[in-house]
A and B are shown apart, each in its own frame.
Chain A
Amino acid sequence: MANPDHHHDHGGDHAGGSELSDMQLRVRALETILTEKGYVEAAALDAIIEACETRIGPHNGARVVAKAWIDAGFRKALLEDGSKAVAGLGHDSRVGEHLVAVENTPDTHNIVVCTLCSCYPWDLLGLPPVWYKSTQYRSRTVKDPRGVLHDFGVTLPATTKIRVWDSTAETRFLVVPMRPAGTDGWTEDQLAALVTRDSMVGTGLAQPPGKAV
C-alpha cells in the first residue's frame, strides 16, 4: 500500500512513518492526559460514541411525537412538562435542564434555533445537523424565519404565525409537528415513520402518508 504522495514531510522525518493530523494529535494528547488522571476511560468513551451513532437519533423524538398524536393524555403531559413526559418513556435527559415541547397548529408554526452555539435535544434528535450549527441558520432564523423555511422547501399560509424559539443551555425545544391528514387509525409505529428530524426542529413538516414507505 505504499503511496509516495501520502507523506507530507515537514522536517523530512515522516518518511516511512505514520502521520496524524493536528486535530488527531490534540485529541490524543487530551485523551491521554485525562486517562492518566483518571477522568476518562477508553471503553466508556467508546460506549458514548456507539450510543451517539446508533441508539440516539431522531427515531426517539419521532416516537414521542407519534405518541402525542394518538394519546391525548400524553400530549397534554408533554406540552405541560416535556422533560417529565419524555423521562416517563425512558428517555432520560443527558444534558440541559429542561425540554419544552411546542406544538404546531394551523395558526402557529414553531421553529427552533440556538443563536449562541447549537444547543439541541440530542437525546431525542441525535447530534445536530451541520446547517443547524451554521452562522447563517443561527442568524437568519431569527430575522427571517419565513425565508429560512422557504429555503427548506416549506411554504406556510400567510396567516400562519411563525414563532422562533432560541435554545439555551438550560432549555431545549422539541417541535411537535401537525399530524398529516389521511392518517386516521394509523399505529404509533406507522406514524413515527412520518416524523422527520427537520419536522421536530421546525424546518420541515411531517411527511404526508403517501410518501412513507
Chain B
Amino acid sequence: MRDMTDRTSAVAQAVPGFPHDAGGPVFREPWQAQAFAMTLTLYDRGLFTWPEWAAMLAAEIERARARGDPDTGDTYYHHWLAALERIVAEKRVTDAHTLSRYHDAWDRAADRTPHGMPIELQPEDFRAT
C-alpha cells in the first residue's frame, strides 16, 4: 500500500499545473482535522443536511475567489472553517461576536502560557482588554 501511495504521489508531482498531493497525512495541520471532525459531528447531529453544507462551502469558495484567492486547493480548509463558522451562526448555535470573544480569550491564554506548556483556557482570559 505504501508503494502504491508513493507511486501515486510521484505521478502527481510530475503533473505540471496541479498542486501536488504529497500522499502524506490527509490533514496538513491539526486544526484542519479538528474543523473537519466538528463538521461531521454537527452533520451527524442533524444540525444541517449535507446539501446545505455543500452549498455553504461552495459559496465560501466563491467569495474567496472573488477576493482574489487563487483557490489552488491549499486554502481549502480556510474556506472550510469559514463555512463552518457561518453555518453555526446561521443555525443560531453561536454568533460572530461570541466566536470573536473566544478567539481573543484563546489568544490571551496562549500569551500567558510558557512556550512548550499545554495552553488551557481560564476564566481570566475573558477579561476585557
Contacts and interface: CB of A to CB of B under 8 A. Distances in A.
What interface size band does chain A fall in?
35 or more
Contacts of B55: 169
A204 B18 CA distance: 14
A196 B84 contact: no
Contacts, number: 205
Interface stretch (A84-92, A102-110, A111-119): A111-119
A131 B19 contact: yes
A95 B53 CA distance: 11
B116 interface: yes
Interface residues of B, number: 73
Given A131-B20, A151-B16, 16 more contacts: A19-B110, A28-B102, A29-B100, A33-B99, A37-B93, A44-B37, A96-B50, A117-B54, A117-B61, A119-B54, A133-B76, A134-B19, A134-B72, A169-B54, A198-B12, A204-B11
Give 6 closest A-B pairs by Cβ, nearest first: A29-B102, A129-B21, A169-B54, A130-B73, A133-B73, A48-B37
A53 B45 contact: no
A14 to B, nearest CB: 6
A134 B71 contact: yes
A44 B50 contact: no
24 contacts: A18-B111, A20-B107, A23-B81, A29-B106, A30-B81, A31-B34, A34-B38, A34-B93, A37-B94, A40-B41, A45-B41, A49-B33, A52-B37, A117-B54, A129-B21, A130-B20, A131-B21, A135-B70, A136-B72, A137-B18, A151-B15, A153-B15, A168-B54, A198-B12
